[in-house]
Amino acid sequence: MKPSHTSLDQPRPDGAFNWESFTRYWLDVVFPPRCANCGRLDTTLCVTCQTRLDALPLKYLERMLPPFTGLISTESHRAPILRRLIHSLKYDNMPHLAQPLGIRMATALQHYDWELDLVISVPLHPHRQRERGYNQSAELAKVVSEVLGLRELSSALQRTVNTRSQVGLGQQQRLDNVAGAFDADPLSLAGARVLLVDDVLTTGATMQACAEAVIAAGVHSIYGVTITSAS
């Protein structure tokens, strides 16, 4: 089977041996990529599943959650293809899945007349981001900002407390877990109309805590978007 990602015939400009390409080449040989949705070999998102994703209708699920001026999700988290892609984006080292998912989010946002200045994302604590290697929400925010022609400034919002996972916690436990966990930069955000990006909206506790930190930094207004909503 021909590896899909890397070729050994890509020399480095300085003529040195490209160990990164070499390693990726043989990882593809030994562990060939699989479609994140259907498991087909030699691709991380096959043409069939990409077509299914493109054909999945946008639901425009709206949630009233102070202090957001507007907050939407593109579909319920019960949608199997989105649930599987989000899981692979977060836990299977597939940050490139942010591209099709981010395009879906940006397309949904074009349905609204929200006036926005910049895009930020729900941050991971630095320790957790080092473990994962990237922040999936920041990867989504980059795609959304590029499609919409907005500035992306996820660095303006930081998670200062390494909170426990929200999985399995009730509503009040989630609120308590993330209370005071985020800090926003007023020099970057004051007066701006901000879009906050995350992957899944469950109870909304994390999004709400982020939004409150952003409001405290003096933004004009805060909006939010996620791929799916669990409720």
Q: What is the pLDDT of residues 25-59, one digit of tens each?
A: 555 555 578 899 898 887 889 999 999 999 999 99
pLDDT tens figures, 125-183: 999 899 899 999 999 999 999 999 999 999 999 998 777 677 666 666 666 567 778 99
User: Running DSSP on this structure, what letter comes out for residue 220?
Assistant: S
Q: What is the pLDDT of residue 138?
A: 98
Residue 114, burial from CB neighbour count under 10 angstroms (0-12, 13-18, 19+): middle
What is the amino acid identity at position 123?
P
- % residues pLDDT > 70 (the chain): 81
Q: Is the pLDDT of residue 228 over 50?
A: yes
- % residues pLDDT > 90 (the chain): 69
58-229 belongs to CATH 3.40.718.10:
no
Q: What is the pLDDT of residue 177?
A: 64
HSE at residue 33, side-chain half, CA atoms within 13 A, is 20
Q: What is the pLDDT of residue 153?
A: 97
Q: Is the pLDDT of residue 1 over 90?
A: no
pLDDT tens figures, 105-128: 999 999 999 999 999 999 999 998
* C-alpha of 138 from chain center: 5
Higher pLDDT, 13 or 197: 197
Q: What is the pLDDT of residue 175?
A: 64
Closest CA to 184 of 154, 209, 217, 153: 217
Residue 139, burial from CB neighbour count under 10 angstroms (0-12, 13-18, 19+): buried
* Cis peptide, bond prior to residue 67, ω within 30 of zero: yes
Q: CA angle, corner 134, sides to 75 and 174, nearest 5?
A: 55
Residue 188, burial from CB neighbour count under 10 angstroms (0-12, 13-18, 19+): middle
> Which residues lie closer than 8 Å to 81 by C-beta, 6 or more apart?
37, 49, 52, 53, 56
